[in-house]
Structure 1
Amino acid sequence: MTTTVWLAGVPTHLIRADLLYKRLNGFYAGANIEWMPKSYYADNANTTALDPNCLLNFRLGFEHFASRWSVYVEGRNLFDKRYISTVDVAGTDTAASQILYPGSGRPIRVGVPYDL
């Protein structure tokens, strides 16, 4: 008889999918989802379960290949979902435990990377 044991703090499934449109002139745009379809436990005693979540993100930008620079704007968590992004696994979660860390609200990032 085999018993399946799941590690606390590790989701059973985490699915990431990207859809990116790129043009030859360097312009690109795309969407991305990060989906955790099942809940999982944050502690070894299985007392605190984290809710499933799905985040929608986007990114658009321009890459100038000859001069090695690019510019982009990125938005994450477009629907402003509340979710737990990081877990410090504990033996047993209690009211005094500080093991759950919330994810960002709806950050917008702008960047201008340059390849040396």
Structure 2
Amino acid sequence: MDDEIMKYRKKSKKHGLKRSKHKHDYQPCVYNYLSVGYDSTYGFVPEEQTTIGQYCIVCGRIKFDAPDVYKYKWYYGIITKPNDLVKKELNPETRTLPTFKIDDYWNQKFIEVN
């Protein structure tokens, strides 16, 4: 067996998923998710939160940082206030961006895109 020289075997080409073979094209959107709030009479209670983020229109990958147009204004380095465009998009009656429901804010990486 030592006298025989094995020929080099070329690795077979693997076909990747659709979500891994593209450049992400992120579009702004609005996320709704459940968070934990504090109530003085009931203690910690679940409450619905809304935030602006981005999603890839090809695979549905989500990013929670907002595009520059929708960034909050910073005052004194620690206080943030939403600008008029953010207020308009967070209001359900005047919203123009697509809205997605997120089950787990910290661990969910993808959403369903039709």
Higher percent of residues as helix: 2
Higher percent of residues as strand: 1
TM-score (norm 2): 0.23
Q: Greater relative contact order: 1 or 2 (C-alpha under 8 angstroms, separation 6 or more)?
A: 2
Which structure's CA Rg is the greater one? Answer: 2
